[in-house]
Structure 1
Amino acid sequence: MASEDDFHHSSNSTYRTASSSVHADQEALLEKLFDRPPPSLQRPKDRFHGAYIIFFSLGIGGLLPWNFFITAKEYWVFKFRNCSNPAAGEDSVGSDILNYFESYLTVASTVSSVLCLMANFLLVNRVPIRVRVLASLTVMLTIFLVMTVLVKVDTSSWTYGFFAVTIVCMAVLSGTSTIFNSSIFGMTGSFPMRNSQALISGGAMGGTISAVALLVDLAASSDVTDSALAFFLTADVFLGLCVGLYLLLPRLEYARFYLRPAWPAHVFSGEVQPPQDPPSAPSAAPGSHDSCIPPLRPILKRTAGLGFCVVFLFFITSLIFPAVSTNIESLDKGSGSPWTTKFFVPLTTFLLFNFADLCGRQVTAWIQVPGPRSKVLPGLVLLRTCLLPLFMFCNYQPRVRLHTVVFQSDLYPVLFTSVLGLSNGYLSTLALMYGPKIVPRELAEATGVVMSFYLCLGLVLGSACSALLVHLI
């Protein structure tokens, strides 16, 4: 493999340039003008991998609360079927809510995520990232503290009220989590790619931790409220840890180097417009550029190919996981063994997928091929479409239209889920990491928000079409 020094380097770029192309030469010149650090600055080393660990931990904290919110399914069933002296008709109320609870959660989280992504893009140059990150962490922590308190509160007398509070909390949590994750991801665009990889891998670790917690909960068979309390308290601790780690990050010499002010980026079209200030000028005058909205069209143009990859990757993944994969049963389910009944889906779906996804993302720390301009990357992304029929012809139950089960072994869903997770983790991390690297440095944060929007769009489309796929089976 080629080392990082073999790539065209700037503080925001580590991809190969095609010197034979005039357009590539213009891109290289843009990067030299906008991203070149002053000669007196030397790139410091990430001592003891401190920044890497911080970004990895922020990735965990950014998605762990949401994962725990979803993982505590038995807790929500208990709350909406609370049988402590239920009034007449209370069971029907709880049943009506439970029938559509996940749909309500999906709609609430999706709508708030999209709206907050749009707001975050508009506020990139208007509200400092420090304010956006700390404000979102504070709101997330407040929401979870409220939900933690409500765990031990008897809500049987106000089921609809508790349901409304839960939906509102989920919407606010999803929106603020989106602002936090997209802001931090945008910030890593000014760092070397290994820091973006750490943040993305941390998100996968959050999913793995929640899957392990679910298995421990099933094995222990403890009181449902105690399990939920443990989930929410753990999320509270991680969110508090994120606040401390984010405040610690600017104290690292390595982080201060990459967080320095960027050269102002003018509208980058076909012509290169060098900045008017001499190279020795530290930065543009405050408010001259930071007060305007980032240019969306050139960002979309630069990231169109990578954006397609991200959208299609998460479209295929959310088509299969969890709508199809969670309904694949063990062929030996009739044996009555707890491993083929109680633990089969948590092990072969949630834990295996999240662990494979984490491994795929972690591999990108050492291997980063194909590159952002390679046609192999979208080819591999399109190739994942073959996973759809493979999962459909496993032992999915109940089957209405496709009666034949082609893959007559429990090893097949294990293999297919591993491929789904590994390919999702590796290819999505590459595409997401490359995005902020192919634009001038001070547009990296806005580009990170756009890449997050691509991710959200893929998840929304896949989740919406998953019901149709299930209907075909």
Structure 2
Amino acid sequence: MAIASEDDTHHSSNSTYRATGSPLQPDQEALLGKQLDCPPPDRCHATYAIFFSLGIGSLLPFNFFITAKEYWAFKLHNCSNPASRRDPEDSDILNYFESYLTIASTVPSLLCLVANFLLVNRVPVRVRVLASLIVTLSIFVVMIALVKVDTSSWTRGFFTVTIICMAIVSGSATIFNSSIYGLTGSFPMRNAQALISGGAMGGTISAVASLVDLAASSDVRDSALAFFLTAVVFLGLCMGLYLLLLRLEYARYYMRPVGPVHVFSGEEEPPQDYPHSPLVPPRSLESHMPPLRPILRKTAGLGFCIIYLFFITALIFPAISANIESLHKGSGSPWTTKFFVPLTTFLLYNFADLCGRQITAWIQVPGPNSKMLPGLALLRTTLIPLFVLCNYQPRVHLITVLFQSDIYPVLFTCLLGLSNGYLSTLALLYGPKIVPRELAEATGVVMSFYIFMGLMLGSACSALLEHLI
């Protein structure tokens, strides 16, 4: 079942509705609500294009920060002074740098998600979005300034600066992502789909840039400079596009102010036309903090799907998939050595993920209340043995390699990316649509927390799975 086209569908501030007389599937009942007056048209699909671009900008700077792997190794390896004696602590910093980066990104992300939820009704979304962009832009300017600086005499100091920058970038990116995604909860679903697809496009661009750099770059500092400058350009573009969004008549219609959630006491009866009173907890005052319990209760099923989908994805990608080697690596060809993992793991996964997310613009099956959605999420568990039985190296406990061809990891990576992109986007689209409009932004933050939980659990378990292999 596919959702009706835009021409046959009316949009409220947070739901999609069939036109009168159109057949309605039971799955769509969760997306129904009080229909509003007809919105102005989205001229030239400008709002859709802006959200897609914001999606690219939301993840591209962070991806570029991570992609500059050779640059960080160069700066932390004292390459400017190779004859100097290595301190054991410097070696520890270099060997475990990626683990330090993971910690520096995970903890601030969690704290900023909580803070963003608490600030939903206190700080306007435009302040949070613009402030996070300015902070991230400032950090990348600092990183650009340090590219050409000789850090061989203060490696530990540079490491400390890098970790602090990573923590700030991760926190500000989290606030930006969750705020923009929460904002799309007040728009028709196609705009949220544009934002989510844009994020996948950012990952694809980053993977392509990494391949180009691998093939053509001769100086790691020049490639890092190109990465950071590109990130600054996209951050500046995001600021301009967001300010433009605030001026579009179509966007202003959906972004018009709504009062805080009014919660009724046991003695006070809600008005008859109040469309979502069953969700509102029995309290007598308007709250500055969005009510968490009704959001969790309403989104529990979708939350499970999101957590499990990203758990399986993070369990496999990139820890397991990036260690699958070509069966013909001994031939010495560039395809089987230099480009096999970047192409079959990073570029292919990101492109398949992008395709899966884009498909939801035309097909939205299953619906938010369907038992099929969690069933398909659980079915992705079968991907784990499929990847493990490819040519993962090194192998200590599980010696058998069942899939004796390089085509198998390619097919499995496509399946991993497509299923992750399609199913996770469906769940993320439905989340803010099954709550009242005044809770849509807060629900978007909660859905972002589900993503974080899935990624964190998957990343933690991937280390255990590696040891079992």
Give yes or no for TM over 0.5: yes
1:274 match: 271
Deviation at 1:79, TM superposition (A): 0.6
SS in 2 for 1:106: helix
Deviations 1:51-97 (A, max 9, x none): 01100110111100110011110001101112222574336443211
Deviation at 1:9, TM superposition (A): 5.3
2:292 aligned with 1:296:
yes
1:10 match: 12
Partner Cα distance (2:54, 2:233) in 1: 12
Partner Cα distance (2:25, 2:398) in 1: 53
1:70 match: 66
SS in 2 for 1:143: helix
Deviation at 1:194, TM superposition (A): 0.5
For the aligned residue pairs, the C-alpha RMSD in angstroms reads: 2.5
Alignment of 1:387-402 (within 5 A): 387-402=383-398
2:277 match: none
Partner Cα distance (1:211, 1:94) in 2: 29
Q: What is the identity, as a one-letter code, of the residue corresponding to 1:461?
A: L
Deviations 1:108-131 (A, max 9, x none): 111000000000000000000011
Give the aligned length.
451
Deviation at 1:44, TM superposition (A): 1.4
Shift in alpha-carbon separation, 1:8–1:438, aligned structure 2, 3 A: farther
Partner Cα distance (1:356, 1:269) in 2: 50
Q: What is the identity, as a one-letter code, of the residue corresponding to 1:327?
A: N
Partner Cα distance (1:268, 1:206) in 2: 44
SS in 1 for 2:402: coil
Shift in alpha-carbon separation, 1:272–1:19, aligned structure 2, 3 A: farther
Identity of aligned residues (%): 76
Unaligned runs of 5+ in 2: 275-284
Shift in alpha-carbon separation, 1:20–1:325, aligned structure 2, 3 A: closer
Q: Is the 8 A contact 2:121 2:260 kept in 1?
A: no
Alignment of 1:269-348 (within 5 A): 273-274=270-271, 289=286, 292-348=288-344
Deviation at 1:460, TM superposition (A): 0.4
Hey, which bits of structure 1, 4+ residues long, moved more than 6 A? 5-8, 18-21, 268-272
1:127 match: 123
Among candidates 97, 105, 112, match of residue 108 of structure 2: 112
Partner Cα distance (2:371, 2:10) in 1: 20
2:220 aligned with 1:218:
no
2:90 match: 94
Deviations 1:168-198 (A, max 9, x none): 1001100000000000000000000000000
TM-score normalised to the size of structure 2? 0.91
SS in 2 for 1:251: coil
Partner Cα distance (1:86, 1:19) in 2: 70
SS in 1 for 2:334: coil
Deviation at 1:100, TM superposition (A): 1.1
Q: What is the identity, as a one-letter code, of the residue corresponding to 2:178?
A: S
Q: What is the identity, as a one-letter code, of the residue corresponding to 1:353?
A: Y
Among candidates 414, 427, 435, match of residue 439 of structure 1: 435
Deviations 1:376-430 (A, max 9, x none): 0000000000000000000000100010000000000000000000000000000
Q: What is the identity, as a one-letter code, of the residue corresponding to 1:417?
A: T
Between stretches 91-100 and 413-422, larger displacement belongs to 91-100
Q: Is the 8 A contact 1:64 1:207 kept in 2?
A: yes
Between stretches 253-262 and 389-398, larger displacement belongs to 253-262
Q: Is the 8 A contact 1:86 1:157 kept in 2?
A: no
Q: Is the 8 A contact 1:81 1:91 kept in 2?
A: no
Between stretches 144-153 and 85-94, larger displacement belongs to 85-94
Partner Cα distance (1:127, 1:301) in 2: 25
Shift in alpha-carbon separation, 1:20–1:375, aligned structure 2, 3 A: closer
2:278 match: none
Alignment of 1:12-411 (within 5 A): 12-14=14-16, 31-32=33-34, 36-37=35-36, 41-86=37-82, 88-90=84-86, 92-262=88-258, 264-267=260-263, 273-274=270-271, 289=286, 292-411=288-407
Partner Cα distance (1:326, 1:90) in 2: 29
Partner Cα distance (1:78, 1:85) in 2: 11
